[in-house]
Amino acid sequence: WWQQAVMAASEDEKEEQELRQRFMAPPVSGLRELRRRRRELRSRMELLIMETQAEVCRALAALDPGAAFAVDTWERKEGGGGISCVLQDGEVFEKAGVNVSVVSGLLSEEAARQMRSRGKALKAKDGKLPFCAMGVSSVIHPKNPHVPTMHFNYRYFEIEEADGTKQWWFGGGTDLTPTYLNEEDAVHFHKTLKEACDKHDLKLYPKYKKWCDDYFYIKHRGERRGIGGIFFDDVDSPSKEEVFQFVKSCAKAVVPCYVPIVKKHRHDSFTPEEKQWQQLRRGRYVEFNLVYDRGTKFGLLTPGSRIESILMSLPLTARWEYMHTPPENSKEAEILEVLRNPKDWVH
């Protein structure tokens, strides 16, 4: 028996070593705890977001070899913590961040109110709602105006109600924000996401594509933030396992939907006027994130949340000009037309 025990310990050590090499930093919950609870969905989701973070960071670093990700681990005194990986001032990327957070504790009244307003009938015990939330989130702002900005986020949420029952749901999405329209890139991006969705249900891509167009809408401007992708929230059916597998497919599609576009355009030449248009479009990006984005709002309402990680999505530079209107029939006007009237890119 002792030989078996030694062999098992050796296997455990080997697995732990492999996991360490796969990630950007040790997981928030700790490798031993994750392995102990490896069959639980919470643990599998944490492993998935850790793997996604590492995959994306390595793919981006390979595109911008002169730059490196700063890896910053942090703890939240109310429970949990996270890993922020940020690259700044590279040759290809002006700012690229890939964050993982795994937090738990009691939901604040404001955050609970926000959830109830979305139709969640949450029954608190003595005004308290224990919760667990985890996710991977990324925003990539390239230097070249011909390389689009990209955002993705995949998350899992669990709440324990007064009677001990647990409510759970997944959310997430991947979307593209180009400064200039390139139809070939738009088709590639949407087709890659559609393939990930189609593995699970042919109804998902059209449903989540429309949800994305409706969600990333800057109401006060009457335009979308970008050319969309997929977006979903509060998904809790058909089953926990099926939704997890769907989220996994979407997370695995991030690198193939975006990296080929960066490779194609990172060395494109551009003019000072094109750079200025990129800065103005980034201003719109900031407006959406600070005024409408649900994840930003939730983060700012969660006690002990890390503001630097929440606002990592904002670009290093942006611009707001008074009453700027691009000339008719210009390339700048072309992208605005698509932002005001979303297109079907895959049919």
Instruction: Provide the domain limits for residue 205.
Output: 1-340
Residues of the chain scoring pLDDT < 70: 1-16, 19-20, 109-110, 112-127
pLDDT for res 72:
94
Residues 151, 188, 200, 265: which is the catalytic one?
A: 151
pLDDT for res 315:
94
Catalytic residue flag (residue 151): yes
Q: Are 121 and 155 in contact (CB under 8 A)?
A: no
Structural domain contains residue 305: yes
pLDDT in tens, 323-338: 999 999 999 999 999 9
Q: Are 61 and 16 in contact (CB under 8 A)?
A: no
Question: Which tokens hold the place of 25?
Answer: 């930093």
Structural domain contains residue 154: yes
Structural domain contains residue 4: yes
Structural domain contains residue 200: yes
pLDDT in tens, 283-328: 999 999 999 998 898 788 877 778 888 898 999 999 999 999 999 9
Based on the number of CB atoms within 10 Å of its own CB, is 249 exposed (0-12), middle (13-18) or buried (19 or more)? middle
| 72: CATH | 3.40.1500.10
pLDDT for res 117:
57
Structural domain contains residue 73: yes
Structural domain contains residue 289: yes
Assign 76 to helix, strand or coil: coil
Structural domain contains residue 86: yes
Q: Are 139 and 97 in contact (CB under 8 A)?
A: yes
Q: What is the pTM of this model?
A: 0.91
What domain count does the chain have?
Answer: 1
Residue 20 burial (CB count, 10 A)? 12
| CA separation, residue 48 to residues 42, 143, 183 (Å) | 10, 29, 32
Structural domain contains residue 206: yes
pLDDT for res 35:
84
